[in-house]
Amino acid sequence: MNLKQAKELVHGRLSDKRYEHTLNVKKMAVKLAKIYGEDEERAALAALLHDSAKEISKDEMREILRAYPQYAEGGEERPAPVWHGVCAAILARTQWGVTDEAVLSAIACHTAGKPGMTRLDKILYLADMTSAERDWPGVEKLRKLEKKNLDAAMLAALKQTNDFVLSQGKPLDPMSKAAYEDILARSGKNER
Ligand SMILES: [Fe+2]
Ligand SMILES: [Fe+2]
């Protein structure tokens, strides 16, 4: 699937608002890819498809996870908000002909992160949090940091997301916790 096809596909699957978000994530992902020497086309494709399963029903997502347990990454045991990334990666792989494992990985982990995230995984995760229309408190700070230091930005981003989830009284996805601990351990120290 090329970028034009991906764009058309998600335009048909998403509301105007989410389509606009998607295009903004693509812009930010390409910008970060340029800074960090990542393949821009891969970043663009992952960004275009990242929320492609966000507007299907929970039942439909559950069906996709059950149909492809080998790609479900913990599946429906995990909190429902993370399902759409995993489902998007499954659809991309099984229905839309996306074969690039790096792209599929970035799509699948864009909501929760995971231990051992690749540079592309991190770029998409951060682009999704800092796309042009995002206006949560602290987003400007993260936009500055992500352009200077990808890992420091990931650490801040995962902490922000995990703290937010916990503050809402919602269950934290074990993968998010593990992603944070992994980056913390790799960055070596004292940010806890
Ligand atoms: Fe998402
Ligand atoms: Fe998104």
If you write DSSP's letter for every residue of 8-60 in order, what string do you get?
A: HHHHHHS-HHHHHHHHHHHHHHHHHHHHHT--HHHHHHHHHHTTTTTTS-HHH
Tell me the ligand closest to 126's alpha carbon: 2
| Ligand 2 centroid distance, CA of 190 (Å) | 30
What is the pLDDT, as a whole number, of residue 72?
A: 95
The count of other CB atoms within 10 Å of the CB of residue 23 is: 18
| pLDDT one-digit tens code per residue, 99-138 | 999 999 999 999 999 999 999 999 999 999 999 999 999 9
Structural domain harbouring 145? 3-187
Tell me the ligand closest to 17's alpha carbon: 2
Tell me the ligand closest to 111's alpha carbon: 1
CA separation, residue 180 to residues 100, 153, 187 (Å): 25, 11, 10
CATH code: domain of residue 160? 1.10.3210.10
| pLDDT one-digit tens code per residue, 144-155 | 999 999 999 999
- Which of 142, 168, 105, 124 is closest to 33 using CA atoms? 124
Average pLDDT in the 166-181 region? 93
What is the pLDDT, as a whole number, of residue 108?
A: 98
| Res 192 pLDDT > 50 | no
Would you call 38 exposed, middle or buried from its count of C-beta atoms within 10 A (0-12, 13-18, 19+)? buried
Asked whether residue 70 is domain-assigned, the answer is yes
Mean pLDDT over the full length of the chain: 95
| Res 187 pLDDT > 90 | no
| Ligand 1 centroid distance, CA of 29 (Å) | 14
Asked whether residue 161 is domain-assigned, the answer is yes
What is the pLDDT, as a whole number, of residue 140?
A: 97
| Ligand 2 centroid distance, CA of 128 (Å) | 5
| pLDDT one-digit tens code per residue, 22-46 | 999 999 999 999 999 999 999 999 9
Asked whether residue 115 is domain-assigned, the answer is yes
| Ligand 2 centroid distance, CA of 11 (Å) | 14
Tell me the ligand closest to 53's alpha carbon: 1
Any idea which residue has 């909501």 for tokens? 111
Tell me the ligand closest to 26's alpha carbon: 2
Rounded Cα gap, residues 192 and 184, in angstroms: 8
| Res 68 pLDDT > 90 | yes
Asked whether residue 192 is domain-assigned, the answer is no
| pLDDT one-digit tens code per residue, 77-99 | 999 999 999 999 999 999 999 99
Percent helix / strand / coil, the chain, rounded to 5: 70, 0, 30
What is the pLDDT, as a whole number, of residue 189?
A: 55
Tally of structural domains, the chain: 1
Asked whether residue 134 is domain-assigned, the answer is yes
Token duo for residue 178: 């593990």
